[in-house]
Amino acid sequence: MYSDPKECLYCTDNYSNIMIKIADLSVSRVFLFKEQTYRGRCLVAYNGHVNDLNELSDDERNAFMADVCRVTRAMQAAFNPEKINYGAYSDKLSHLHFHLAPKYVDGPDYGGTFQMNPGKVYLSDAEYQELIDKVKAHL
């Protein structure tokens, strides 16, 4: 399934109900996921409307993965999770993006797959800003 860029939430900047933009990176943007069951969960979306990682040139892929790595390093420094899980599904929205879900030893789904949107933990604007500031401080 290849989605129309005119209907893509990343291309149309129609993501405010699920994410908050943190920053622009070299070839992507990083967002804080509003549902925070996995404290510090972020998402990195490629700037261009491509369906899959394999559609990028080697240089584009390397730049995107460098952005993903930059964000996970910032998340590691900011939140000190035991592990960060990566998810790149795109079954219903064909715009290249990675979900980055920090996992904590005594936290939800530790030792298993993170849930896409458990719908359990939402924060105040101030709490979101605190998480954003922590990530930005390490980008």
pTM for the predicted model, two decimal places: 0.94
Q: How many domains does the chain have?
A: 1
Q: Which residue has the tokens 């070839």?
A: 27
User: Which of 131, 96, 137, 120 lies closest to 20 in space, CA to CA?
Assistant: 131
Q: Tens of pLDDT along 41-95? A: 999 999 999 999 999 999 999 999 999 999 999 999 999 999 999 999 877 778 9
Tokens representing residue 43 in the block? 């998402």
User: Which of 110, 52, 61 lies closest to 84 in space, CA to CA?
Assistant: 110
Range of the domain at 16: 5-138
Burial of residue 127 (CB within 10 Å: 0-12, 13-18, 19+) is exposed
Domain with 81 in it: what CATH number? 3.30.428.10
> pLDDT category, 1, cuts 50, 70, 90?
low
**Residue 3: pLDDT over 80:** no
Q: Tens of pLDDT along 100-113? A: 999 999 999 999 99
